[in-house]
Amino acid sequence: MKQKTSAKRIVALAIAALVARQPCVTAAPLREQAQLTYAPDVPPPITRHKPAIVEVHLESGRKLMPVHGTVKYEFWSFNGHTPGPFIRARVGDTLEIHVTNTDTNGMPHNCDFHATATRRGRSSVRALATRWKSMLRTPTPTGCRTTVISTQ
């Protein structure tokens, strides 16, 4: 009986040693493209239940748009719209925002995000000179299941 127990222990230790040598495999975090919408529409509800990296691509620039009737104004825009798009994210998601400034006038642009904050308390992508790109990773806020974030 003692030999069987000893043999079982040796086999168990051998298996444990083999398992310990295997590299730890963890699942890559979910990654998805944000569905951007513009006022008055909001993005559809999120159906996933796990946090994800939500990738957002924004292009800042200027665009001549009507204000009233034939009166036009050259607005700063994001993806050709003013105000910028709505972004929906879940608490626990990380927003990965890529911004490219295409303003040929040389004017720097920045993005202010409502309902997000970085570790330092900032909630914007810094001012970008013409043809510059920037990326910001920011966690979503706590206190609600999903949030719709607008850019201005």
Measuring CA to CA, how many Å separate 62 from each of 22, 77, 101, 113? 54, 6, 10, 19
In a domain, 7, yes or no: no
In a domain, 63, yes or no: yes
Report pLDDT for 15. 65
Domain count, the chain: 1
Q: What is the mean pLDDT of each run of 10 residues along the chain (152 residues)?
A: 63 61 62 92 90 88 92 92 87 82 80 61 54 62 48 47
In a domain, 90, yes or no: yes
> To the nearest 10°, the Cα dihedral for 110, 116, 147, 89?
80
Q: Which amino acid is at 100?
A: T
Report pLDDT for 38. 92
In a domain, 17, yes or no: no
Report pLDDT for 131. 56
In a domain, 57, yes or no: yes
Nearest residue to 54 (alpha-carbon basis) of 148, 137, 143, 145: 137
Domain coverage including residue 120: 28-150
Integer Cα distance of 109 and 126 in angstroms: 8
In a domain, 44, yes or no: yes
